[in-house]
């Protein structure tokens, strides 16, 4: 029971911290929720979560130039 409560406390603390940081940066709650769930669909499995994360990172980060490899 203690470990389940601890996990819940950690999750809530992280959620609060992310919300506070978003507010300080001027993001609305809607903007924050879109950033945290880019497809507006909660993943149904851990594999789906990893896939969504990879797609989101690829979408957000600019491509790097591969110089000096030719």
pLDDT in tens, 9-56: 998 898 888 888 888 988 888 777 766 665 667 778 889 888 878 887
Q: How far apart are CA 37 and CA 59, in angstroms?
A: 13
Give the whole-angstrom CA distance, residue 35 versus residue 23.
13
Token pair belonging to 24: 């300080």
| pTM greater than 0.75 | no
pLDDT at 63: 67
Contact predicate 43/49, CB 8 Å: yes
Token pair for 66: 């591969």
CA distances from 2 to 14, 25, 54, 68 (A): 18, 35, 33, 54
């Amino acid at each position: 029971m203690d470990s389940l409560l601890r996990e819940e406390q950690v999750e809530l603390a992280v959620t609060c911290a992310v919300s506070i940081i978003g507010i300080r940066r001027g993001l609305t709650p809607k903007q924050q929720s879109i950033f945290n769930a880019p497809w507006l669909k909660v993943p149904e499995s851990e594999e789906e979560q990893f896939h969504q994360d990879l797609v989101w990172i690829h979408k957000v980060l600019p491509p790097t130039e591969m110089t000096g490899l030719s």
